[in-house]
A and B are shown apart, each in its own frame.
Chain A
Amino acid sequence: MDQNHAYTAYHPRWLRPHVSTYWWLEKPAYLAFILREGSCMFVAWFTVYLLLLLRAIQQGQAAYEAFLAWSAGPVIVLVNIVSFAFLIFHAITFFQAAPQAMVVHVGHRRLPARVLLAAHYAAWAAASIVVFWLLTGA
């Protein structure tokens, strides 16, 4: 908006309440919202991390070992611990929203939200176990 707009005497001012840039600090629910939205930054960070890992593997064994050494640096580990917390938060909040976005019918009856939620958690557990097993063989 043009800040220097000259208002005439009889022109009504726009009713446009001022919202602070820090409005999300005002209530816990707002903060939870911004943390949930902020979790996307950690999704992006870890995807970049995965791309670096893929590139290292593509370049060969020495590059892979260099990546492992780099990943053990204290700053990287700290960032990844914070990322882990945010990714768990992301997963929980995303699954919570899923029953509202997904309407599944069995016959003529709508599947209750808790069933869908349970299905998401079960799939999450199964996917995690498969990845864990593939990468550690245990």
Chain B
Amino acid sequence: MLFSAGGVVSAMLLPVLVLLFGVAFPLGLLDPPDYAQLSALLANPLTGLVMFSLCALSLFHWAHRFRHTLYDGLQIKHLNEVIAIVSYGAAVAGSTLAAYLLWQLS
């Protein structure tokens, strides 16, 4: 459930975000939003909720896929528990950080 929700949310929102913040703004093709504008946008509870869901669900999507690819693809079966703990642990840590940062910005 977290996997597919994460897959859908990341598919819908990440391409445009990486295009803007990863390519268009750094290369100067478009002007990045100024600080006041961006922090006002993130202070909006709806944007905050969307950003939190995006970060948390994307991380759980990654954790699930990463774990299963190591298991099936590279056949690292003896480390299964360790990999599961590390990947889901990272997802929980990242989600907590996202919640904290967005809380501070709200």
Contact = CB atoms under 8 A, between A and B. Distances in A.
Q: Sort chain A's interface into a size bin.
A: 35 or more
B86 interface: no
B55 to A, nearest CB: 6
Contact of A53 (B21, B41, B94, B104): B21
Interface residues of B, number: 54
A88 B16 CA distance: 9
Interface in B1-41: 4, 6-8, 10-23, 25-28, 30-33, 35, 37-39, 41
Interface string B39-76: 10110000100010011001101100110110001110
A40 B61 contact: yes
Contact of A90 (B10, B41, B74): B10
Interface of B: 4, 6-8, 10-23, 25-28, 30-33, 35, 37-39, 41-42, 47, 51, 54-55, 58-59, 61-62, 65-66, 68-69, 73-75, 94, 97-98, 101-102, 104-105
